[in-house]
Amino acid sequence: MIMNEMETIKISKKLFGIINDRIKNLQTGFSTPDEYIEYVLTELFNDETEEISTDEQNEIDNELRKMGYIN
């Protein structure tokens, strides 16, 4: 089994407390702040790397043409 190696990051105690309260009070399914933070960061970076479909790109191009930004 391949395990992900982990690194340590530092966050403020205040933010850590907020996260810890959130996972305890909202029954998020996360057992530690580390799990929650890893999930949130993974989602954040996955959203940034998602590619748009050809249809979406065509729609964007059409709107830019209408506004005169591209020919």
pLDDT, tens only, 43-66: 888 766 567 788 888 888 888 888
Q: Is residue 18 part of a domain?
A: yes
Q: Count up the domains in the chain and report the number.
A: 1
Q: Is residue 36 part of a domain?
A: yes
Cα separation values, 1 from 4, 58, 66, Å: 10, 43, 53
Contacts of 19 (CB under 8 A, 6+ apart): 33, 36, 37
Q: Is residue 60 part of a domain?
A: no
Q: Is residue 42 part of a domain?
A: yes
Share of the chain above pLDDT 70, in %: 90
Q: At what angle do helices 13-25 and 33-49 cross, to 10 degrees?
A: 100
Rounded distance, CA 36 to CA 28, Å?
Answer: 9
pTM tops 0.85: no
Q: Is residue 39 part of a domain?
A: yes
Q: What is the extent of the structural domain holding 35?
A: 13-22+31-46
